[in-house]
Structure 1
Amino acid sequence: MKKKLASLILLPIVLFSTIASCGKNNSSGSSSTPYFHEDNIPDDNYRNYYEIFVYSYCDSNGDKIGDLNGITSKLEYIRDLGYTGIWLTPIFTSSSLHKYNASSYYEIDASFGTLEDFDKLILKAHALGIKVILDLAINHSSKNASYFQKAVEAHKKKINFSSLNDEEKKYQDFYVFYDTEDQAKQSRKTYYKVPNCNFYYEANFDSDMPEFNFDNENVWQEFDNIMTFWQQKGVDGFRLDAVKYYYLNETNKNVTALSRIKQIALRNDPKAYIVGECWDSNSTIASYYQSEVDSYFYFGASQGNGFIRSSMGLDGADKGSYVRNLKTMIEYSNGHIPAPFLDNHDMSRLGVSDLAYCKFQYGLLSMLNGNTFTYYGDEIGMGGTVSNNDANARTHMDWSKSDEGETNNPYNGTGIYNFDPVEDQLKDPTSLINYYKRATNVRNQFPSIARGEIGTTYEASKRDRQVMIEKKYKDETIEIVFNFSKTNTTDYQTDKELVCYLQATDDIIKKDNTYTLPGYGIAIFK
């Protein structure tokens, strides 16, 4: 699919020979050139994903709770930023704010909207070229789920040696039950006593999240029904929550289960995309790719101690870690699609008050292979520290100085808003949101960024913070040059054409075949 797009971004450029910020060269001589780019997106499962915590994103009806219609109203905004996929955190009926404990997998939570609202969202997203994946937490449900209530009654009859009808036989072992506390203790899992009963259930996250029994074929039939229901409604795939808890710390069994989930998805849609959350070491994540699930989140890139942040430390003194970890990430994905990200709803946001720093850390993410995942609000520099309160990372999206579309924060949630809201930043060509827009759309313009084989790499001397990475995909070869120093410039000589420059501080300067990159500059040559 190729489509020419012209954004409203104006990027000031000071060059001895004038070049556009990205895309086709513009030789008008103007000091301010429109940002033109050409989408060149292959028909595959590589996409730029945008994570939406539904409760906090956009309210359409004035109740201060984010909803599906609010998201639908922002789809043009999301696509204009360059995102070609959205991940919705759970939308199923649930008693909690986060919805990771579903009481019904076939209904939209009333606070978020209706199935008809969802149909409209899917229709518009697909019209804009945006894929939609749903968060599927099937390691556990809510205690309020009819499954659990039926299972408790059936299991009670089972251990009392009462006769069971066909439906009761179906549900008697739908969850992981322990008939005695000794059995529960020996399991070394977290367990709770079933209220008003003399048996126990496994619940590794919370007492309201009983664990499904993955050894029960009736459970698998229900998983199949759930996935089929949503895929028939147009969902393009799923984000699988906490996959190492299917069988807690039993990797081989989890890999088998995940392979089965992938096969269900492919049966319903040969192009279905699955990304799993396995919050563990790189080597453990690598073993999970045996399941043939498309992607697993690459935690090694995320948070304050991830390789993106560490490569920026000491003014880029450890710039080489970026290249090393990029290669490791690709190697560990074993021919699949890595899924790097900076932060998400479960961890502290990486937004800080240093604008150039925020720009460059996203620039580094956007130049990685695989499917990048960006958390809503990162594009405007939202912050929020998670210690014992996840709500701090789930606060309202700051749309404008008015409260139109604004949601309430989750209970006790305190966000940090380092920069202006969306409305104001969009008007400022040097803003963080416009940097995100350029960096994300560049991935749509050059398929080799996400898909390319790593060719030559170059790291300058310790004093010079320059790194070059060559990527090759089909007939496209590009060189990506980074200046990891915020304060010092670096020179790069090449006879190739400069096709894109991501500006975090100052302008790039060209003289003959030498390009001088200022602090935190990223240039792409072809």
Structure 2
Amino acid sequence: MRRGASLGLCAALAAAPVAAAQTAAPAWTHGAVCYEVFVRSFYDSDGDGIGDLSGLIRKLDYINGLGASCIWLMPVAQSPSYHGYDVSDYYRVEPAYGTNDDFKRLVAQAHRRGIKVLVDMVLNHSSSEHPYFQAALRDTTSAYRTWYRFSRTPLGKGPWGGEAWHRSPVRDEYYYGVFWSGMPDLNYQTPAVRKEANKIATFWLREMGVDGFRLDAVPYVVEEGACLAGCPGTHAFLREYAAHLRSVKPDAYTVGEVWANIDAMLPYYPDQLTAYFAFELSDSLLSAVRTGSAAGLLTGFLRLEDTLPAYRWSPFLTNHDQTRTLTALGGDVARARIAATLLLTLPGLPFIYYGEEIGMTGDKPDERLRTPMQWSPRSGGFTTGKPWEAPQADSLTTNVAVEDRDPNSLLHLYRHLIHLRKQNEALATGELVPLSTTSPQVAAYLRRTNRRAVLVVANLGGSAVSGVAIASAERALPPRAYTPRNLLGGPDGAKLHVGADGRLREYVPVAAIGPRESLVLELRE
């Protein structure tokens, strides 16, 4: 869900020293990439125009072929809205998607393919149609009255300065809903609400078999007086919640949405959720590709790598709340290719939004960011009926079927890079080492382990460059001669000689690099 830019309101009150967890990374996260799916828009199995769980099961082989190690499903619980972020029954799958048994079948089929399943857990608020809210709204003596926040008068603005207190349709009073009137915030200062959140999590982990959760709207869970975002109570709740998840399923994986910069994200470590989306990294990646300048590209990555294990933070390009990548890059597929190459060769646990791998387009309003997956030219191949939302205009030419047949397509590049990330130790787990270049439009870095090293060189600019030299600080590589092998195909790089101090000095890997061209070179001894 779309968030305001500033979450620093109460961060100073909640900040704690951040220390990297010393526990080993879960095995499945080794070189992993996760894939975000909007079930409603992925594949319709019964012709009603709405994607469903049976349709997703049919397309698991596609996701597996892409190389994804996990899928994040946008909300699948029952909801009156198309997007599902206002849940009316946390224990029942949205009927348009199927049944609880269909969901269990999906999990079983995903696990057979080695794919983990994360579901969107919306804890901050329920639907205004949820029976608990309806009871609280209509009966001031209801046991659920304290599950929500009511007031005779509005108690100020929301965290972004907008209206957050909504007039009750029943009596002369107001209730708090930070996003809109259809999403009343739950009151986590009520013990029964915290207990219910734990019960819901237990249900999805044990009964439904999921491997973890993506937590929506994390900073807004607890309000404390004037503090409306990132409050101490939110951090306390998240510690309690995470401990409960571990007691139910010790290896449960959670990734939270804190739509802010790294400074605002760090107070949510080290002992709350497993990971958080790194929005600052998304901004720096897309900015570098848009502007053609390498300045600042690696700053956030290096900071997070110095602070936390790579499986505990997740870079991405865009998600379901943002203008799609190709649209944000002006429709330039070459830019989309270099953005994908950067994302999938830099550290962290990256997430990919469905359709990004084929270059789907989309801009606001939100429905147009979440249009049906484009499988083939005919109606996008999504449904035999009328789709719930019209496909994008380019679905006849931009689709899986067309790109499957083109070895130079964006889809083939994504597949290659995702599999490469899994298979190559340096790309899977290697340390990020920044390098300097003699051109401001060329980014260069190493990913290295004790045994393997990969050199990435990316010309972000719209013009070719010649004779670009690369240099490093001391101890970048062990001293020896290296033979670069191009992992993306094409010519290999020139021999690299590293002296006793471990520095790269004026190394020119290739005579020229084309506009928006990338080199991914494995350095062999």
TM-based fold match above 0.5 = yes
How do 1:429-448 residues align onto structure 2 when only pairs under 5 Å count? 429-448=407-426
CA separation of 1:223 and 1:380: change in aligned 2, threshold 3 A: same
Measure how far apart 1:195 and its partner are.
1.6
Q: Deviation per CA, 1:356-413, whole angstroms, max 9, x where unpaired? A: 2211100100012111010001011011122xx1112111111001234338665588
Measure how far apart 1:332 and its partner are.
5.4
How do 1:345-494 residues align onto structure 2 when only pairs under 5 Å count? 345-351=320-326, 352-386=330-364, 389-403=365-379, 404-406=381-383, 417=395, 419-454=397-432, 456-462=433-439, 465-472=442-449, 475-484=450-459, 485-486=461-462, 487-489=464-466
Aligned to 1:208: 182
Match of 2:313 among 338, 343, 349: 338
Q: Deviation per CA, 1:454-490, whole angstroms, max 9, x where unpaired? A: 3x43211136725132432xx4431322132452355
Q: How large is the RMSD of aligned CA atoms in angstroms?
A: 2.7
Structure 2 gap ranges (5+): 1-24, 223-227, 471-479, 497-507
Distance 1:522 1:436 in 2: 15
Distance 1:365 1:70 in 2: 28
CA separation of 1:243 and 1:428: change in aligned 2, threshold 3 A: same
Answer yes or no: is the 8 Å Cα contact 2:425–2:452 preserved in 1. Answer: no
CA separation of 1:413 and 1:137: change in aligned 2, threshold 3 A: farther
CA separation of 1:121 and 1:492: change in aligned 2, threshold 3 A: farther
Q: Which SS does the other structure have where 1:383 is aligned?
A: coil
CA separation of 1:418 and 1:442: change in aligned 2, threshold 3 A: farther
* 2:20 counterpart of 1:43: no
Match of 2:169 among 183, 195, 214: 195
CA separation of 1:181 and 1:42: change in aligned 2, threshold 3 A: closer
Distance 2:467 2:66 in 1: 29
Q: Deviation per CA, 1:169-191, whole angstroms, max 9, x where unpaired? A: 3x23011122x115567998711
Q: Which SS does the other structure have where 1:360 is aligned?
A: helix
Q: Which SS does the other structure have where 2:287 is aligned?
A: helix
* 2:148 counterpart of 1:175: yes
Aligned to 1:518: 513
Distance 1:432 1:334 in 2: 30
Answer yes or no: is the 8 Å Cα contact 2:338–2:458 preserved in 1. Answer: no
Q: Which SS does the other structure have where 2:180 is aligned?
A: coil
Answer yes or no: is the 8 Å Cα contact 2:325–2:361 preserved in 1. Answer: yes
CA separation of 1:396 and 1:464: change in aligned 2, threshold 3 A: closer
CA separation of 1:292 and 1:452: change in aligned 2, threshold 3 A: farther
Q: Which SS does the other structure have where 2:444 is aligned?
A: strand
Distance 1:87 1:284 in 2: 24
Answer yes or no: is the 8 Å Cα contact 2:153–2:174 preserved in 1. Answer: yes
Aligned to 2:102: 117
Distance 2:392 2:323 in 1: 12
Measure how far apart 1:509 and its partner are.
4.3
Deviates more, 1:321-330 or 1:141-150: 321-330
Match of 1:103 among 88, 91, 100: 88
CA separation of 1:257 and 1:136: change in aligned 2, threshold 3 A: same
Aligned to 1:321: 296
Aligned to 1:163: none
Measure how far apart 1:301 and its partner are.
2.3
Answer yes or no: is the 8 Å Cα contact 2:255–2:276 preserved in 1. Answer: yes
Aligned to 1:307: 284
Percent sequence identity over matched residues?
Answer: 30
Distance 1:502 1:290 in 2: 37
Measure how far apart 1:193 and its partner are.
2.1
Distance 2:128 2:376 in 1: 39
Distance 2:311 2:418 in 1: 21
Match of 2:488 among 478, 482, 502: 502
User: Of Structure 1 and Structure 2, which has the larger fraction of its residues in strand?
Assistant: 1
Answer yes or no: is the 8 Å Cα contact 1:381–1:417 preserved in 2. Answer: no
* 2:125 counterpart of 1:133: no
CA separation of 1:222 and 1:356: change in aligned 2, threshold 3 A: same
Aligned to 1:67: 52
Measure how far apart 1:422 and its partner are.
0.1
Distance 1:176 1:409 in 2: 38
Aligned residues: 460
Distance 1:332 1:298 in 2: 13
CA separation of 1:476 and 1:391: change in aligned 2, threshold 3 A: farther
Distance 2:178 2:324 in 1: 25
Distance 1:397 1:63 in 2: 15
Distance 2:287 2:467 in 1: 20
CA separation of 1:145 and 1:477: change in aligned 2, threshold 3 A: same
Deviates more, 1:489-498 or 1:92-101: 489-498
Answer yes or no: is the 8 Å Cα contact 2:91–2:203 preserved in 1. Answer: yes
Match of 1:235 among 194, 207, 210: 210
Measure how far apart 1:214 and its partner are.
0.5
Amino acid at match of 1:299: F
Measure how far apart 1:199 and its partner are.
2.6
Aligned to 1:226: 200
CA separation of 1:492 and 1:263: change in aligned 2, threshold 3 A: same
Answer yes or no: is the 8 Å Cα contact 1:498–1:524 preserved in 2. Answer: yes
How do 1:278-317 residues align onto structure 2 when only pairs under 5 Å count? 278-302=258-282, 306-315=283-292
Distance 1:263 1:393 in 2: 35
